[in-house]
A and B are shown apart, each in its own frame.
Chain A
Amino acid sequence: MTLQLEIPTNEVVELSDVEKKQIDALLQETLYVSGASIDALKIIQNHRGWVSNASLLALSKYINLPLADLDSVATFYNLIFRQPVGKHVLHPCDGISCDLMGGKKIRQCLKKQLKINNGETTRDNLFTLLPLPCLGACDKAPVMIANKQLFELLEEKSLPSILNHLQQEHAK
């Protein structure tokens, strides 16, 4: 594929045996290989935290789909990360119902406490801040998702203890 040249990468990534096994299982389930592409990207992200150019290339070779196709899919969806992220990705809601209930203050407070802007990661690699639209809990606004957990009825004063709690989960 000449298209491979369009994605610069010096690094060579080999998919791990676990990744290969999980991707094989996906391919079993689908009639067409491309139907597995999004889930395969997610598998890689699960193991590596994000999808680098090099891992994209490795996946492209492994499932035999054009790199450009995989890249166009990987860049389209919000939950496929094309940049490294921290241990915990914080998703405070920036939907309208949360904002009506003070969501913006919560997001500003998070930025201040972590000393980062949206899309950035703290120096210690613990937290990445990535607001998401309406998280489907508008009657408990404002809310945030972190570590697959939903934190409801957020108040500024409850944020330090939530961050602490996440940090401790990390230490475990």
Chain B
Amino acid sequence: MSHSVHAPNNPLTRFITQDENCWQLNQYQMQGGYDGLKRALTVSGPAVLDEIKESNLRGRGGAGFPTGLKWSFVPQGDDAPHPKYMIVNADEMEPGAYKDRLLLEKTPHQIIEGLIIGGYTLDADIGYIFIRGDYYTAIKHIEIALKECYDNNLLGKNILGSAFNFEIHIHTSAGRYICGEETALINSLEGKRANPRAKPPFPQVAGLWGKPTIVNNVETYCNLPHIINFGASWFKSLGRFKDAGTKIFGVSGRVKTPGLWELPMGTPIGEIIDNYAGGMCDGYKLKGFLPGGGSTDFLLEKHFDTPMDYDEIGKQKSRMGTGTIIILDDKYCPVAMVLNLVKFFAQESCGWCTPCREGLPWAQVLLEKIEQGKGELSDIKQLEDLCKFAAPGNTFCALAPGAVEPLQSALIYFRDDFELHISQKSCPYCSEAYSEDINDQ
């Protein structure tokens, strides 16, 4: 495949300008939008798939699974089942994650272009954008963008004069974190309760309505037009460490300039926190942080040199997750922080398996006890056990293992804090974290 030469180093966000209409079709096209699709349509689907595999793109929804490999399991050829489905997972509900909302609101066409390219690559027929119901502006922009596409032959029959037909529908979620799990999402699209499905069969073979289905994250799709436009080797060259491309990173919590930035994969954590987020607010010190949203293990300042790279963060016993860092400062109680997260996951558990349905609410009870100064040392041991029960392999999906990641690491790194709550029979943090209204009813 031939590639465009004017390759940017911020492919995902270069369309975002001061202009509040920058998300519309004419502006997107003026900056080279849909060039990737045009280029893709000049070659075969398998050739596009080769380029994606070659690019080493890994899914941006949290698990980092290689996108090309995932796609290669979809049945191809004349006797492949149809319709095949391509789904954008825009159900962003991970605590502390807010990167997909930016892309949805500001670059709806970039997502749609990626989805159409995906559809062309795998000879799919129907696309869905499964979007969080609370993302009102994003929903509006996606709806208008889809209409613009139908009006301009970018969707529908014979797209841009080719033989390729593709339609896209939008589904606004009725709200449950578990809908983001890809097989639960498929159940939800079928109008069922969003319980995850047993695998195998994998969705690539039997997903929505029993047909081959691909589910990818918003940001994953956004990378596709650029990989096709500028080539796999350009994409790989963007990364500063082993992983390819750029990523939207974010920092929230008590830092001077919280926000989102598109940076090379492999950017060291400390650089993101200090240079981009401006370091800690005056009067606050960093106590720890979750590197990739609410279901990743805590890391400490000593991990600042670790590159934001899937394997490197894995070596530090945490995960890149969504790439949105949450900062725990020295004035906020770590027990309260973990309690907030566990409570969320307990509430959002779909109730299918025991370690999650029973274990998470029990962990919540124990954490509430400790936070209120009524805890005992044996509670810590019980919390550790609950973390083990919810480990990967013991549950039907990744919700429960993710839910206990902040807890299990807090029990290691901030153990003193847990013990102090118990020995002094109260929360040592007098800040806003503590309140007698702990249940927040």
Contact = CB atoms under 8 A, between A and B. Distances in A.
Interface of A: 29, 31-32, 34-39, 41-42, 72-73, 76-80, 91, 94-97, 99-102, 104-105, 107-108, 117-118, 131-141, 145, 148-150
A138 B250 contact: yes
Interface of B: 92-98, 100-101, 132-137, 169, 171-177, 188-194, 209, 250-254, 258-260, 294, 324, 326-329, 332, 336-337, 340-341, 344, 347-348, 432-433, 435, 437, 440-441
Given A76-B174, A100-B328, A118-B441, 11 more contacts: A32-B190, A39-B172, A95-B96, A104-B433, A133-B95, A133-B347, A136-B93, A136-B132, A138-B258, A138-B324, A139-B260
A89 to B, nearest CB: 11
A77 B174 contact: yes
A150 B157 CA distance: 37
Contacts of A102: 432
Given A104-B435, A131-B440, A137-B98, A78 B252 contact: no
Contacts of A133: 93, 95, 177, 344, 347-348
B441 A117 contact: yes
A39 B251 CA distance: 35
A107 B437 CA distance: 11
Contacts, number: 149
7 cross-chain pairs, A with B, having the tightest CB-CB distances, nearest first: A77-B174, A138-B252, A78-B175, A37-B191, A79-B175, A139-B258, A34-B191
A54 B177 CA distance: 28
A73 B179 CA distance: 13
A140 B251 CA distance: 11
Given A34-B190, A95-B344, A78 B176 contact: yes
Nearest to A65: B191
A41 B174 contact: yes
B101 A137 contact: yes
Contacts of B193: 72-73, 76
Contacts of B132: 136
B175 to A, nearest CB: 4
Nearest to A42: B174
A41 to B, nearest CB: 7
Contact of B97 (A38, A131, A134): A134
